[in-house]
Amino acid sequence: MSEDKEAQENELLALASIYDEDEFRRADTAQGGEMQLCLELPPDFKLLVKGVSVTLSEKTAEYNVCFLPPLVLNFELPGDYPSTSPPMFSLSSKWMTKEQLSSLCQRLDELWEENQGFEILFTWIQFLKEETLGFLSIQSPLEISEQHFSASSPLDPRAVVLMDPNSDPLPQLLDFDEAQRQKAFDSKVFCCGICFSDKLGCNCLCFKGCQHVYCNTCMKEYFQIQIRDGNVQCLNCPEPKCTSLATPSQVKQLVDDELFARYDRLLLQSSLDLMADVVYCPRQSCGTAVMVEPDTTMGICSACQYAFCTLCKLGYHGVSHCKITADDLRNLRDEYLSATPEGQKFMEQRFGKRVVQKAVEESFSRDWLKENCKNCPRCGTNIQKVDGCNKMTCTSCKQYFCWLCLGVLSKVNPYSHFNNPASPCYNQLFHGVDVDDDEFWSDEED
């Protein structure tokens, strides 16, 4: 008994000296302890998920992982170990099936039978860490389904599945993988690509999309400048031509609360700006985001109840034309015509295809009228001069007027305007007109 007790104490002390507290924890009241055994996965190891955390549009999904939760070996050494009895133990896991754990338990029993009378814990630990994947024929992708944790027959009671079969294991597995990756990253040394200083990973930021690494000091200053300038969509990796973006959680870790609140607000606003069915209430005191129904130009603010036209931003005017300036209409037309097919589709969704097409046509019509017509000085009707002299007759109110200076002409003698030396249009009845000597001019042809 004294020899067994001495062997047990030496074995437990050896375990404590080899493994850190995260891997081995000795029991307080008994000769035993707990081993956390992380298996080394091959490169590009994947989880294949079926029926768990998969959307209705997907039947399966794959996830790359570098770490899986450890196998947990709990053991207690009886008084006659190692001379006669083996350790009492249980084996548990968050991702293995009960069948797999039972097979491992049986293999541990076999190893004891082969080495009875000698300390066995190191042999067990070595087998579990180095040979488990091969022994169980576990390969990538590792399939996890709804039936993964349910046992169909009585199995070894020492095999313990730590995952509730009715719960979703995927978030726990991915969270563990993320935590272990971060732990490994924090302990490595990286050279910042901006200040070229060597720093531990715990003092650096790694862009998830590209894995480029920069120190927190440089990235904090970079984020602060961009957010203050309102460029919240430009918090991308500083590497040339790299388009990876920092995540909101990474930004929050580096900037103060006030700056992050500004970043969060501007990011939401920029995201809403990209939505075709969202506009903002035009009231300066409001500015609330408003959802707009398809194929309509009416928006109703949920905050202040203001009903407005989404095109001209004035009070809603039904089917009446927008009171929009010619410059605004021209800008809308130019923006639409110069946009990509995707950009044109976005504008059609935001304003309505009929509204945009009508705006384009109306803008072209206004430009044509401006270039080719003049307004009657009496009623304002657009008048086009096709041919003839510069004495014009309004087609609407029949008023005579001068095409050159738009002056109103006498009904009795309209040509006196061109014959009076004091008139600004003296002798300019046919100014700008190619006169044919054989053509006869009359008032009726004006």
Q: Residues 6 or more apart from 390 whose CB is under 8 A from it?
A: 402, 403, 404, 418, 425, 428, 429, 430, 431, 432, 433
Does residue 311 contact residue 300 with C-beta atoms inside 8 Å?
no
Does residue 254 contact residue 220 with C-beta atoms inside 8 Å?
yes
Distance separating alpha carbons of residues 71 and 127, to the nearest angstrom = 12
The residues that are catalytic are 389
What is the bridge-based pairing of β-strands 142-145 and 46-50? Answer: parallel
CB hemisphere CA count around 291 (13 angstroms): 2
Distance separating alpha carbons of residues 364 and 216, to the nearest angstrom = 54
Distance separating alpha carbons of residues 313 and 283, to the nearest angstrom = 9
Does residue 225 contact residue 216 with C-beta atoms inside 8 Å?
no
219: region left, alpha or beta (phi > 0 left; psi from -120 to 50 alpha): alpha
Distance separating alpha carbons of residues 297 and 65, to the nearest angstrom = 49
Burial 269-308 (b: 16+ CB within 10 A, else e): eeeeeeeeeebbbbeeeeeebbebeeeebebebeeeebeb
157 to 99, 136, 221: CA distances (angstroms): 11, 19, 57
What does 11-57 look like in DSSP terms, one character per residue?
HHHHHHHHS-TTTEEE-SSSSEEEEEE---PPTT-EEEEESSS--TT
